[in-house]
Amino acid sequence: MEICNCLSETMQNRINKQGLLEKVRNLGFSLLAPEESSNANEVLAEVILSREIRLLEGFPVMLFSASAKGEFERERVSKLLRKQQDRIVLKELSLLSLALYKRLKIKCPRLEKDDVARSKKDLNRVNSFYKSFKDSRDFVIAGVYRLNPSRIEKIFNNYLSESDLNAAESSQRYEKLSLEYAQSQIFSPKQKELFAKKLNGEKLSKTEREYFSRVVKKKITALANPELHRMARKALKH
């Protein structure tokens, strides 16, 4: 019976950890897990309670993401941690995060120093973490967890690269949709098709060439007129 109970607890721990791994993705710590809607403060508390080194090293990413979304509440996270030791870990990881942002010259959206560092002692600790980042010295959090500065920086830089890529892709999608909409205001679907063919240098049939010359070309000529373009922009400003 004791063995069964032990196995059951082990399995439950695995399930709980897997659920946590699925949720931290929403706070910018990408893993091979599907995204899931979750409360940012609860996830941050669960990360601390997990005592998983790779998740603790990803804490600066998750804090940054939660703050950027306006979801981080330090007091809320602290209340979810019953043990004083866990609250100390929260404080230490938050100060370490500030040191990382300072080192990378990044301002964390909606996160002020007062949200985390509330005393001269806290600021001194931030400076201590900052020096450890510069010297590549391991951090000892709350006297218990040893974290590697290189891994922490790498995790955060990967997050930034992924965010930039997503932003670029979103921008490209927006530009494409805007162009599609603008064309639809001028050309019919068939005219858009002929316009695209002409741009791509595709061969047109005799009927298509005649229609293009008779109708589409006139619209393109008008669009290409620089004076008309200037007048249109001026009219839109008024």
Sequence ranges of the domains in the chain: 2-161, 187-238
Residue 236 has which token pair?
């839109």
pLDDT by residue, tens only, the chain of 238 residues: 433 343 344 434 544 665 676 666 666 665 443 444 458 999 999 999 999 999 999 999 999 988 888 889 989 999 999 999 999 999 999 999 999 999 988 887 677 766 787 788 999 999 999 999 999 999 999 999 999 999 999 999 888 877 765 655 655 655 665 676 677 778 888 888 888 888 888 888 999 999 999 998 998 888 888 888 788 777 877 6
Residue 137 has which token pair?
């010295």
Are 111 and 73 in contact by the 8 Å Cβ rule? The answer is: no
Residue 76 has which token pair?
């809320």
CA neighbours closer than 13 Å in the CB half-sphere of residue 69: 16
Round to whole Å and give the CA distance between 30 and 16: 18
Question: Which residues have CB under 8 Å from 76's CB, separation 6+?
Answer: 41
Question: What pLDDT is recorded for position 135?
Answer: 94
Question: What pLDDT is recorded for position 190?
Answer: 87
Question: What pLDDT is recorded for position 115?
Answer: 74
Residue 33: DSSP 8-state: S
DSSP element (H, E) containing 115: helix 113-116
Q: What is the model's pTM? A: 0.58
